[in-house]
Structure formats: C-alpha cells, structure tokens
C-alpha cells in the first residue's frame, strides 16, 4: 500500500505550530508512492527562490532533483524513486538574492561522523523494544514520592578503549548499566547526544535536533542502550538545548538566506558570550521544530525525561547583556514572553503525552514558579536544579574549618526557600571544569581532610530535601578536573581511600532509596525539621527527615574536632541505631562514632521530649534511626 503524501492538514498544523508528529512529515522518509519505493524529502524554507535535493545518488548536483513548493506554507517536498535508507543528502537552496547555499536537514535523523555533516536517510521501525513493562510502570509512577538519584554522564569520556577510542552505545550498555546498578542510581542523565560538530562543546551546541550523534553508533544502537537501561530498571534523561544553536553555515543559521530560526536583530538573536544564535520563539514553525524534537526523543527513543539547558538565558531578554544590547518586550520589561509561552507549551504537551517523564529545568535565577503548573502562572517543569544550594554549600566547604563558624548561614539559608520549588540538588559537570577544580580539590586541608570533607558533602546532599544528581567521577573522588578528551581516572580505585568514597555513594543511594523519610517528602515542608541550626561556634547542624511516623536523624560536624557527649533532642525514646557514618573505616575514615547505638533518655532537649548523647566524628555526618 502506498504511503500518504504531505497533506494540507499537515501543513496547516505545522503553520499553527501544533504538529506534534512533525518528525514523520519533514525530513527524509523511505516510503512508497504509486507503487514505487523511494524517499520523500520535505523541508521548510519559506524565503528560498528554489530548493533541490543533492546527495550521493545524484553526484551532489544542485538542480537535478528540484523540490516543489506547497503554496504559502514555505514547505518544499520531493519524492525520489529508487533510493533507500543509508542515502546521504543535503538541500541546495537558492536564496532570494540568487546565492546558492548547501544546508543539512534540520529534521535529519542521522548524520555522518564529524567533520562530515551530510544527513543520512533512516529507516525507522526496525528496532524491537523490550521495555513495555517499564513504560507501563512509568505511566503510573508517582515521581514526587519516589527516590530520584541521577548519575550524570558524558558518553565520550566516562570510559575509553585503548588508544582513547570511545565506547559505542552498545558498549556503554554493557559497561555503564552494571556500574549504575551496582552504585544504586535510579537514572542516567546524558550530556547532549544530539548531533553536534565540536567535541569541546560537550553537545551543548547542537546541529542535529532529531539525531543521536554518530560518534557512538546509529539510532538503533542508541535505542538498544535505552532499552537495556529500562530492562534493568534504570531511567534515561537527556540534556536538551532549546535555548541557542551554533552559527555553523551548513546548519540552521540563516537557513534559507534569511534569519529563519533566529532573530534578524542580534539584540534578540545572538548570545555573544557563547557565539550562538537564539531561537525566534514567536514563530510557530520554530516552536513546532523544538517541541517536535522533544517529543521525538520521548517517543522514538522512549526517554524518561529531558533536562532543559540554560533556561535562564531563554527567560530574560537582557541575559548576560549590558544596557543598549537588548530590546524590551511589548510591555517594556526584560521577560521573554514568547519563550515563557514556549516553555509552558513544551511542558504541557510532553507531560500530557508521556505521563511519568521528568522535565527538569537548569534555571539559575529566582524566577518564580518554575515547577508550578502553567494554569497558576508557573512554567510547568517537574524539577528545577537548586543552584543556590550547590553554590552556598561548595562556598561553605571551601572555607578552612576554623572559619566556617562565620559562614554558618550558607548551610541554613537554603531552607528558607527549599520548598518553594521541586528542587534537584546538582553536583554537576559545570562545577568541575574551566579552572574550578574537581570536587576533591575544592575541599580545604590535607589529603585526609579533603576526603573527609568530600564524604561529608555527599552525606549532606543525600539527606537534604530534594532529588540528587552527581556527575561521573565524583563518586570516587576524581582528583583532576574533568576533560571531555580523556576518560575518568579509574586507576584511583586501586587506592582504598578512593574505593571507600565510592562505597559511601553506593551506601548513600541504598539508604536514600530504602528509607521513606529520606525521599517521600522531598518537596514538602513537613518532611524536614531542624533539630538545631544555631551551633555556629562548633559548626554542627542537626535535623530530621520525616514521612509520617518514619523518622531519620542527621547530625553533621563540619570541623576536624571529634565531639564527645554532644547532646541533641530526638522525637522518641528507645534505642537509636547509627545506620551511616561517613567516618567509618569502610569509607576511609577514622572510625569514630556510635557503633553500638544509643539509648534515648527522657531528658527533654532542644524542644524534643527525649535526647541522646552522641560522639560526633571529625568532618563527618552520622545518620540515626530508631531501632526496629
């Protein structure tokens, strides 16, 4: 049976910006027309004088396969008989001024390995998925009451073969999945694997919004990776970049000779600090291109969510601009009204069509209601990165312990806003590059103190309200800054002190997932209570996490001085058990603590009816629970 041609209804929906399966229409699609097998090409280039398809099938000769324009839609299409999946192609566009430019397909679903950049015709529907049970369970998943612990991965530098060769998607499935299972993370978040020309951009300057990068294999290889993750109970989140795109001449920039995807005026259309262009969110077809890309990854690759990069740069017209370098909105303000509307639509469409996914915002300002529904004025994301917690905590821990008493507010201030959004606590790739030092070397003191501070940081992250994200290498105390050009320093694991840090992360993931009080109320104020946040002189904090009657107590000593007989109030009597101590010898610590547990006395303390006298290990966190 013949495949349907490009219909007027397709063009109407695209013009309205509401064609949610546009990836089945534009681009290149093997099909049959009038009984003949071939490929249908379609591209949006409304200001072109003419468009033709060029490729390896016609010697890359412009004009040999001219495309036909579809009325006023700006869409051009052509059916080429006798070619199939695997064909290389581009579009030859003649601009209004008569200049001929060669462009790759914005909707291309596979590309040549960089530095080549031709699109490749893909035959979809050939992969056999085995994750039906996962998808059914995800659609019923109550993410806000579940543990969410994310391992952030740059696929090109997690591990290498000999001679520095990258792992393929299938090799990543074989090696990364068992590691993530062993470590207890719930999700893998991939730095962008959307196709991009420059390795050093880490994927954040995307040219192929519908294509997994060919660096690691073909689209079905990526599907295999996701499918294997799902069959092993691991979710997959993709970093996705709708905020800007590179100026490469072969891609989206001035696609039909005009500022089509971007703004003409650089005060609206250019990020000078990044050397990138900004999408024109007011144009229906551009919005459709971006939302279609998001849906494509969620649909055809079964992804479990998107982490939307650089949201702040989208929301503010004056983002990283001086006076005179930006244009106000129609009301005279600095809010990008079209981007706000785009983000709300993006979140509504994606979450309604794929229940159970996570839409995560990297938003670095105090923009209100990022994770609240659009109908009450929010942007509609599920989660927002808590950049304030990250910066305050790392700034505090960077202080020599003797001075921490003067910076105690950096530990406590975050609880004033911790429940204003649904927060994720990130210790991400951005914090361990460009001279910022690794997490390990952000810590003060000698080698022992650096390791102890790092273990303390991880315990603080895992017991603080919010879901968790940790960039690869942090889990074993990577000492060097991260570089995209080399693999992690896995040889460090031969040293017990680094193996101990990794054991701690594994145990923290287990504790976080196992204890309801540590995750079920992560985004609710009644899930957290200070026991004491005022002991600035000794740099000690204590708090409890609660889910109804289920309670976990956390005490953290931010100095290298052991403290004996340190009394805190607790909510109930009986025997309390030390279920985690970051100073344990298993993690490379000095083994100071409360290994036999503690019996609570009826001496009320700190407003609590009972109290316990603790031994606080140096530069360490302890976690207590009532004995079962």
Catalytic residues: 309, 362
Where residue 82 falls (left for φ over 0; alpha for ψ -120 to 50; beta otherwise) is left
Q: Residue 269 class from Cβ within 10 Å (0-12 exposed, 13-18 middle, 19+ buried)? A: middle
Label residues 542-574 b or e (16+ Cβ within 10 Å = b).
bbbbbbeeebbbbbbbbbbebbeebebbbbeee
Measured CA to CA, the distance from residue 522 to residue 306 in angstroms comes to 20
Helix (H) or strand (E) holding 624: strand 620-626
Cα–Cα distance between 268 and 327 in angstroms, integer? Answer: 7
- Rounded to the nearest 5 degrees, what angle is found at the Cα of 150, between the Cα atoms of 297 and 179? 100
Which H or E run includes 509? helix 496-514
DSSP three-state, residue 209? strand
For the CA atoms of 170, 173, 176, 181, the dihedral, rounded to the nearest 10 degrees, stands at: -170
Residue burial 396-405, b: 16+ Cβ < 10 Å; e: rest: bbebebeebe
Which residue is associated with the tokens 């591990």?
A: 159
DSSP single-letter state for residue 213: -
| Torsion angles phi and psi, residue 426, rounded to 5 | -100, 135
CA dist., res. 470 & res. 435, Å (int): 19
Which three-class secondary structure state does DSSP give residue 614?
strand
d(CA 44, CA 51): 10
Q: For residue 11, what are its two tokens?
A: 């063009």
Lookup result for tokens 């460090």: 492
Q: What does the alpha-carbon distance between residue 557 and residue 5 come to, in Å, rounded to a whole number?
A: 68
DSSP code per residue over 427-483: E-GGGGSTTS--HHHHS-SSHHHHHHHHHHHHHHHHHSSSEEEEETTGGGT--SPP-
| Cis peptide bond N-terminal to 475, omega within 30 | no
Which single residue is written with the structure tokens 């581009």? 90
- In 167-218, alpha helices (H): 169-183
Distance in angstroms between the alpha carbons of the first and the last residue of the chain: 66
The two three-digit tokens of residue 263, written as one number: 């703004």
* DSSP 3-state of 16: helix
Q: 145: helix, coil or strand?
A: helix
Q: Take residue 359 and report the two structure tokens written for it.
A: 């839409």
The strand pairing partners of 246, in sequence order, are: 276
């Amino acid at each position: 049976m013949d495949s349907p041609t490009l219909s007027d209804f397709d063009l109407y929906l695209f013009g309205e910006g509401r064609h949610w399966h546009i990836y089945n229409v534009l681009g290149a699609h093997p099909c049959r027309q009038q009984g003949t097998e071939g490929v249908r090409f379609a591209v949006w280039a409304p200001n072109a004088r003419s468009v033709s398809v060029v490729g390896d099938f016609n010697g890359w000769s412009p004009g040999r396969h001219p495309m036909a324009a579809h009325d006023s839609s700006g869409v051009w299409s052509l059916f080429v008989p006798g070619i199939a999946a695997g064909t290389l192609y581009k579009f030859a566009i003649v601009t209004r001024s008569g200049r001929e430019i060669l462009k790759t397909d914005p909707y291309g679903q596979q590309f040549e390995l960089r530095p080549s950049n031709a699109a490749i015709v893909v035959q979809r529907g050939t992969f056999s998925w085995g994750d039906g049970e996962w998808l059914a369970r995800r659609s019923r998943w109550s993410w806000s009451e579940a543990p969410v612990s994310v391992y952030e991965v740059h696929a090109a530098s997690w591990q290498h073969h000999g001679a520095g060769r990258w792992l393929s998607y299938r090799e990543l499935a074989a090696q990364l999945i068992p590691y993530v299972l062993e470590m207890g993370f719930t999700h893998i978040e991939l730095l962008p694997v959307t196709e991009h020309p420059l390795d050093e951009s880490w994927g954040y300057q995307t040219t192929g919004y519908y294509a997994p990068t060919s660096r690691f294999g073909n689209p079905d290889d990526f599907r295999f990776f996701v499918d294997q993750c799902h069959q092993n109970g691991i979710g997959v989140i993709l970093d996705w970049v709708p905020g800007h795109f590179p100026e490469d001449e072969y891609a989206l920039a001035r696609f039909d000779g005009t500022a089509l995807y971007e703004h003409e005026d650089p005060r609206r259309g250019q990020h000078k600090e990044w050397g990138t262009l900004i999408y024109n969110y007011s144009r229906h077809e551009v919005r459709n291109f971006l939302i279609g890309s998001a849906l494509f990854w969620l649909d055809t690759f079964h992804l479990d969510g998107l982490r939307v990069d650089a949201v702040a740069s989208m929301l503010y017209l004056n983002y990283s601009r001086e006076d005179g370098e930006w244009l106000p909105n129609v009301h005279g303000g600095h809010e990008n009204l079209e981007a706000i509307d785009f983000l709300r639509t993006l979140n509504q469409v994606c979450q309604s069509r794929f229940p159970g996914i996570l839409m995560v915002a990297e938003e670095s300002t105090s923009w209100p209601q990022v994770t609240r529904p659009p109908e009450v004025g929010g942007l509609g994301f599920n989660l927002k990165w808590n950049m304030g917690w990250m910066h305050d905590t790392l700034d505090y821990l960077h202080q020599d312990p003797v001075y921490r008493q003067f910076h105690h507010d950096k530990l406590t201030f975050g609880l004033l806003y911790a429940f204003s959004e649904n927060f994720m606590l990130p210790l991400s790739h951005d914090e361990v590059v460009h001279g910022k030092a690794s997490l390990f070397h952000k810590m003060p003191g000698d080698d022992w103190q650096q390791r102890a501070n790092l273990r303390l940081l991880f315990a603080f992250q895992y017991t603080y309200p919010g879901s968790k994200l940790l960039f690869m290498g942090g889990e074993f105390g990577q000492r060097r800054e991260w570089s995209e050009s080399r693999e992690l320093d896995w040889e460090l694991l031969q040293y017990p002190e680094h193996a101990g840090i990794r054991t701690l992360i594994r145990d923290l993931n287990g504790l976080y997932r196992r204890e309801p009080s540590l995750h079920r109320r992560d985004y609710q104020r009644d899930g957290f209570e200070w026991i004491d946040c005022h002991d600035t002189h000794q740099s000690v904090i204590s708090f409890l996490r609660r889910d109804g009657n289920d309670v976990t107590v956390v005490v953290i000593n931010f100095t290298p001085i052991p403290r004996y007989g340190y009394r805190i109030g607790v909510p109930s009597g009986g025997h309390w058990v030390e279920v985690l101590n970051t100073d344990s010898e298993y993690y490379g610590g000095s083994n100071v603590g409360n290994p036999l547990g503690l019996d609570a006395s009826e001496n009320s303390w700190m407003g609590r009816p009972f109290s316990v006298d603790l031994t606080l290990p140096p530069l360490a966190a302890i976690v207590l629970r009532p004995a079962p």
